[in-house]
Amino acid sequence: MKKTTRDEDFFMKNSELSMEFSRYVLEHPEMDDILTEDKVVIFLPEYDPELKKFNEEMAKEIEAEGGKVLYVKVKQLSPRITSRLVGVEVGV
């Protein structure tokens, strides 16, 4: 099994946060007003200090280059749910 680098690990974690944030935005249409194409969404996960620091550094680079950043603080992620099906009966 291939070992991942720290950056690859952070990329995967940010991808997961991005997918979850997309779901959150779909459930909260009022977010459309602050989400604009000219802003880069930067996640600040309070539960993962290493990732938070990495993302803060990335945000500083973006802002230093004149980019706009939208910070999204995340206190925690709930456990992953593999299926939302309830009361399943399978018959043959």
Q: What is the pLDDT along the chain (92 residues), one digit of tens a residue?
A: 455 698 899 999 999 999 999 988 888 888 878 888 889 999 999 999 999 999 999 999 999 999 999 999 999 988 877 777 788 878 76
Per-domain residue ranges of the chain: 6-74
Q: Is residue 44 within 8 Å of 73, Cβ to Cβ?
A: yes
Q: Whole-model pTM?
A: 0.79
pLDDT score, position 92: 65
- Burial environment of residue 43 by CB neighbours within 10 A (0 to 12, 13 to 18, 19 or more): buried
pLDDT score, position 1: 46
